[in-house]
Structure 1
Amino acid sequence: AEERGYGVDVQGFEDALERQRERSREDRARSVPTLEGEDLVEGWQSLQETGEQRFTGYDQLEFATDVLAVRISEDGLALQIADNPFYIEGGGQVSDTGRIEGDGWSTEIRDAVRVGDRVALLGTVPDGAFPEPLGAPLHVRAIVDSVSRRDTERNHTATHLLQAALRDVLGTHVVQRGSLVAPDRLRFDFSHTAPMTEDERRRVEEVVSENIWEDHELSIGPRAYDDAVRDGAMALFGEKYDDVVRVVEIPGVSMELCGGTHVGHTGEIGLFKVTSESGVAAGVRRIEALTGRRALQDLEEQVSRLDEVATVLGTSQENAAVRAEQLLAEKKELEGLLDELRSGGGAGESVVLEETIAFDEVAIEYKAVRLRARNADDARKWGDAFLSKEASGVAVVSADLPDGKHTLFAFVTDHLIGQGIRADAIVREIASVVGGRGGGRPHMAQAGVEDSDRIDEALRMGRDVVEKLTREAVG
């Protein structure tokens, strides 16, 4: 900006950015979570007024605990529990799913949301006999879906490896601009101005995979915010942090402030596969990727598709690409031969009438044909070839197209045009036979066809039209 003569109010920008952050935080605070459109703030039945909640999900996925409050509706059951192993959505990571089991009843947990200063677990209509009337204590067992959680952990740790790899391959200007960490996939938005090349994308995959295979042990724990940032921990742009933060470190690779869940060793991720790279905004790119079981499934599907292709091509997977290139080359060669046949009077041509019209000292070669054509351009190529071969000739052509439609063409050599015989005059007269209308230039003209049953009649009539025009010309 300074190079272009503009001043930059840095402090004003920072103040405006902070005001926007405050508005965003206020909007989030005012937002009311819902269950099937219902306001979740109201309607709770408290079982323990002074009960405190504690997140236990970093270390335990199954926990015996007490219910603090219940909300029952036709759409399902919402619970607030004392010891909660369910991760609530944050930092790009989605909420856990699982189930709550009570004495003779259970509910499937579909989501976890924040209601005020507490976490509410949103479940299905209870299966079994839910206790009525309710009374404390209500003992339950909270069980996180361990398969889903482990898949999510693989994707979250892989996201940290991905950011480190992007900074290594593309440069340290790369910073996170958004993310999604779910059981079935990960998505990572980052600052970068240009699409990644195929080589860059491949190198990023290689760097991530190398760090997976090296099986780094993660170091996760609380640290003072200032100390963590001083030591190089990466923080999310625009986020507010407490004085004490949780740091997730992959020694020698990555260190980030993060409250999400992760694997213990990078080797647990197994596989990493980028599925797409695209732009989402000016200066922001997006990578989507798979890990673990999902990456293996994707690779197996690709191998299966390759096997199908190889079978169709009649070769092995290893030779499929070579065979495909051979077939494409053969196809191109055959298309060229077909063009030559069509333009030179080959198998795609059916002659309706061919004769020499002799009048005084004028001899005109007249040819009427039906041409099986892919499109109108095939007929034009045929006409160009005819005009280049004949010194004194007229051709009338019906281009019979694959969709059942037909187009009439007339072609006249330069010698005859000089004697007053024009393609546009010929095509207008023969088009009247098939209910069409047409026009064009002296050497080439075309017309539509409404009555395809009379095409041959129109082609034969062209001979009489040429004779009439010749008489008028010499007349």
Structure 2
Amino acid sequence: METAEIASRFLSFFEKNGHTVAPSASLVADDPTLLFVAAGMVPFKPYFLGERTAPYDRAASVQKCIRTIDIEEVGKTSRHATFFQMLGNFSFGDYFKERAIPLAWELLTSPVAQGGYGVDPERLWVTVYLDDDEAETIWREKVGVPAERIQRFGVEENYWSMGVPGPCGPCSEIFYDRGPEYGAEGGPAADEDRYVEVWNLVFMQYERGEGGAKKDFPILGDLPRKNIDTGMGLERLATLLQGVDNIYETDTLGRILRDASERTGVAYGDDERSDVMLRVVADHVRSATMLVSDGVRPGNEKAGYVLRRVLRRSIRNLRLLSGTDASYLHGLTETTIGAMQGIYPELRHDADRIHEVIETEEKNFSDTLRSGTALFGRAAERTRSTGADRISGADAFQLHDTYGFPIDLTLEMAAEQGLGVDEDTFRTLMAEQRETAKRDAKAKKLGNADVSVYGRLLESAGSTDFLGYTDHGTESRVLGLVVGGESVGAASAGDQVELVLDRTPFYAESGGQLADKGTVSAPGRGTVDVEDVQKPVPGLFVHRGTVREGTIALDDRIEAVIDSDRRASVSRSHSATHLIHSALRNALGPSTGQAGSENQPGRLRFDFTASNPLATSELSEIEDEVNTVLSGDIQVRDFTTSMDEALSMGALAMFGEKYGDRVRVVEMSDYSRELCGGTHVAATGQLGVVKLLGESSVGSGVRRVEAAVGIDAFRRLSRESLLVGQLSEQLKTPREELPERIDSLVSRLRGAEKEIERMRAAQVLQAAGEVAQNARRHGSALLATHRAPDGTTADDLRRLAADVRQRLGDDDPVVVAVAAVPEDRPVVVVAVNKQGQAGGLKAGDLVGLAARALGGGGGGKPDLAQGGGTDASAVDSALSAVEQRVAQTS
């Protein structure tokens, strides 16, 4: 039975038994405390915690999951995987043990012809929690499992909680006996390699208090509504039903693994080391494909880092397997899409974008591998030459910072050569680097805020009715007030307050569009200046601002009014974003996708997928196309339809956004048609003019254009016209001839700068004879020190030091130390001849002494090294430090 059919049978069975089929949520968790969905119940977590009311009493799903905690074990065992799928059925206060247990047994053991999986009931064993007599009774009396095939386990194995105060309860697990060839008899208690867990039934019936994550916590009492949460690994079930040994031999992963084997020319099953690498490739390419499909792009933080990590591990293993630097990921990605599209048909729709993202990362990492591998080799050789067994943290940091090597890859490569890595120093250097930049958490509107207060408000107040598409002001009622994270009854002048209204004209920030601003006023009582509007939980609009005067209280009847001029300006930017998106796709091809946007008053930025920068001519053509379209004054129409209908019409969806069954489509004739919840102009002519301000890179495979819209664009053009007029007047050159005139001036200026540089270098080198003549002897060594004039470049200092060293010859040990302050930051260069190096004088060591005196650092080769610092007043002290060391050594 193929994996897609296993999933389909599961959903069909539970749908026939009164469950709502819930589509898989995105792999990227809609939860500020999680990075990825790592279990089938995660999307239902707010219902189990009581933060929101479930829209149904029963549900069933096939949930995509990512778990990276054991990523180093992937491939080494036949059961670990980063991507996996969980089959689950859930009850929210509806049925409990008496129904959940028979349903599981029925699906597993019913004949295939009747929609079941046809598992032999004689091969199934059951475990229950130590004192869960109720579950055991149901298994024995209602299902008919013999008592000798039911075993009891303790809290570590058969009790569930989220690790924090909240719902908890006992579990009951179903195990499959693979047969005597896999281990000893005696059930799960005897051998879990032979007896494989198939299904875990969690009975949430108690509320736990503070305590340990797995045990040692108090039970506070019964839950008011008992819940069911079950999970069955799709890959594990496929392994059993398909009669193969492990998940890498199933129809999906096995197909990818076999393709990797054929492409690299390495047979699977011949060698354990290559088998591990093939399993890593199969798992990681599948994980990457699914992550990209859900809108993740390679990056250096969070989900993007995980994607980059699995892709780079795949690429490196493919190269080790094949012994070449050929590109394999296009073919393997296509194989993965083919293997998985039976369950996720959207993969075929997203294929072009998935290929582009993965191939761009493969190309970029190829460059990284070429340069970084050579540096790693030198670091490993240097480590061994010193007798050490760990690559230094500084080397690991340089690999990461300069060549983009993840620390995981450095650790992996080091282990292959029998070396470790000084991770502590690496982490310290990373932390120091991050201190120079603010984390983006504060920029996030919600960060890791406790959303439970909003969940309770949604429960009590219900969803906010948004009227902003048609109304700029409305009467409303205050249903919730939050001050300092706590619900309150009233807020007074000066308070920072969050308001929940029963209806609102305020647009809440989403889809790249900034929130409305305006006022909320209770006549005769108080006024709040609204600065921001967010949706911390779906359906709930939270208005954030300051009470300007008076008091605002619960149940107040209020007037909510937005800043209409600001809304109009933001709407123009949003409509311009849609036009730019279409123009970019027309210019670069349909695989160009939106990767983010921000629409603010009079200005926008739009991020899109592209491997290469846009030429100036391409930007000009895109700008011309956008303005030609808007000048046609096309009507902007919006309507609501089903997701399937919208996609069949060619409407574009932003990857990574979450959409419901009903979606809003915004179209501008046939030129642009997108899923969008934002506000827009009535006709494109209202945009006036769109001026592209520039294009830049914001990450691997992602570019950004910025633009001004409407009066802001006009003012920009006006300023540029004035500037061009001033230049024309100053240079006495007609406007149309300015480019040639400026090119001529720049060429002459560069020539003059080169001549000045040549003269300065010559002047510095003229001092070489005098510096050599003034060399002082310390024991057997000659030391020449010199402070060059401020403004002398580091290049000139290196040339001077090398010249003086040559003049002093090789008869004696020679050390030359020269310093200057090029641009308010001192630089020191040390040169040592071969005799000096033989006597223990190393340029790198000496320059380190000098640089520390300058408040900095440095290094280099034994014959020539450079350092610097921040204290320009300590140049003489730096040169003295070199002199003292030479005197001590000689």
If the TM-score is normalised by the length of the shorter chain, which range does it land in? Answer: 0.5 to 0.7
What's the RMSD between the two structures over aligned residues?
Answer: 4.7
The structural deviation recorded for 1:102 is 1.8
Structure 1 residue 57 and structure 2 residue 468: aligned?
Answer: yes
Determine the structure 1 residue equivalent to 2:672: 254
Q: Cα deviations across residues 234-258 of structure 1 (Å, max 9, x unaligned)?
A: 1222444333221111102011111
Aligned to 1:69: 480
Q: What does the per-residue CA deviation read over 1:103-157, in whole Å, with 9 as the maximum and x for residues that have no partner?
A: 2421111111224442110111x122215xx463x12111112222112111111
- How has the CA–CA distance of structure 1 residues 402 and 103 changed in structure 2, closer, same or farther, with 3 Å as cutoff? same
User: Displacement, 1:173?
Assistant: 1.7
1:63 CA displacement: 1.4
Partner SS state of residue 535, structure 2: strand
The 5-angstrom pairing of residues 390-401 of structure 1 reads: none
Q: Matches of 1:335 and 1:44 in 2, distance apart? A: 65
Asked if the contact 2:623/2:692 (under 8 Å) is kept, the reply is yes
How far 1:200 sits from its partner (Å)? 1.4
**In 2: Cα distance, 1:34 partner to 1:84 partner:** 20
Aligned counterparts of 1:146 and 1:195: Cα–Cα separation in 2 = 37
Deviation at 1:177, TM superposition (A): 2.2
- 2:507 maps to 87
Letter paired with 1:130: T
Which shows bigger deviation, 203-212 or 168-177? 168-177
Q: Give 1:188's aligned amino acid.
A: F
SS at match of 1:130: strand
Alignment of 1:278-317 (within 5 A): 278-315=696-733, 317=735
Match for residue 100 of structure 1 among 520, 523, 528: 520
Q: Aligned partners of 1:203 and 1:337: how far apart in 2?
A: 40
Aligned counterpart, 1:374: 760
1: CA distance between counterparts of 2:696 and 2:678? 25
1:323 aligns to 2:745 (yes or no)? no
Q: Which residue of 2 is the match for residue 270 of structure 1?
A: 688
Cα distance in 2 between the residues matched to 1:438 and 1:69: 72
Letter of the 2:624 partner, please give it: E
Gap change, CA 1:37 and 1:190, over 3 Å in 2: closer
Q: Which has the higher contact order (CA 8 A, sep 6+)?
A: 1
Q: Distance between the aligned counterparts of 1:338 and 1:279, measured in 2?
A: 35
Shift of residue 322 of structure 1?
3.9
Deviations 1:206-227 (A, max 9, x none): 1111111111111111123222
Name whichever structure is richer in helix by fraction: 2
Candidates 337, 354, 358, aligned match of 1:10: 337
Matched position secondary structure for 1:177: strand
For structure 1, which segment, 244-253 or 219-228, has the greater mean C-alpha deviation from structure 2 after superposition? Answer: 219-228
Aligned to 1:221: 639
Between the two proteins, the alignment pairs up a number of residues equal to 360
1:289 CA drift (Å): 1.8
Equivalent position to 2:567, from 124, 149, 154: 149
- Rounded to whole Å, the distance in 2 between the matches of 1:282 and 1:49 is 45
Aligned to 1:431: none
Write out aligned runs for 1:337-376 (5 A). 373-376=759-762
Question: Residue 243 of structure 1 aligns with which residue?
Answer: 661
CA-to-aligned-CA distance 1:23-53 (integer Å, 9 cap, x gap): xxxxxxxxxx98899756449998x966763
Q: Distance in 2 between matches of 1:13 and 1:110?
A: 45
* Counterpart selection for 1:128 from 525, 533, 549: 549
Equivalents in 2 of 1:120, 1:213: separation in Å?
38
Partner of 2:541: 119
Shift in Å at residue 172 of structure 1? 1.6
Q: Which has the higher strand share?
A: 1
Report the CA distance shift for 1:209/1:11 in structure 2 as closer, same or farther (over 3 A): same
Paired amino acid for 2:717: L
SS at match of 1:167: helix
Is contact 1:424-1:439 (8 Å) kept? no
Aligned residue identity for 2:336 = D
> Percent identity among equivalent residues?
31
* Counterpart residue type for residue 120 of structure 1: V
2: distance between equivalents of 1:190 and 1:404? 44
Note the alpha carbon deviations across 1:390-410, whole angstroms, 9 max, x for none: xxxxxxxxxx97859999x9x
What residue in structure 2 maps to residue 212 of structure 1?
A: 630
**Alignment partners' CA distance in 2, 1:213 and 1:181:** 21
> Structure 1 stretch 282-291 or stretch 244-253: which is displaced more?
282-291
User: Which residue in the other structure is 2:596 paired with?
Assistant: 178
Distance 2:535 2:736 in 1: 53
Equivalents in 2 of 1:17, 1:88: separation in Å? 32
Question: CA shift at 1:71, angstroms?
Answer: 2.6
**1:192 & 1:239 partners in 2: Cα distance?**
20
* Distance apart, 1:198 and its partner CA: 1.7
For structure 1, which segment, 303-312 or 327-336, has the greater mean C-alpha deviation from structure 2 after superposition? Answer: 327-336
Structure 1: which amino acid aligns with 2:762? A
Which residue of the other structure, out of 234, 244, 250, is the alignment partner of 2:652?
A: 234
Pair 1:209–1:376, CA change in 2 (3 A): same
Q: How does 1:164-203 map to 2 (within 5 A)?
A: 164-203=582-621
| 3-state SS, counterpart of residue 162 of structure 1 | helix
- Tell me which moved more, 174-183 or 6-15: 6-15
Question: Residue type matched to 2:470 in 1?
Answer: D
Shift of 1:317: 4.4
With 258-267 and 140-149 compared, the bigger mean Cα shift is at 140-149
- Write the distance in 2 (CA, Å) between the matches of 1:36 and 1:67: 25
Could you tell me how far 1:439 is from its partner in structure 2? Answer: 12
Unaligned runs of 5+ in 2: 1-255, 265-330, 347-443, 485-493, 767-787, 801-805, 810-829, 834-874, 876-890
Cα displacement (A) at 1:276: 2.3
User: In the alignment, which of 74, 78, 92 is matched to residue 498 of structure 2?
Assistant: 78
Partner AA of 2:469 in structure 1: Y
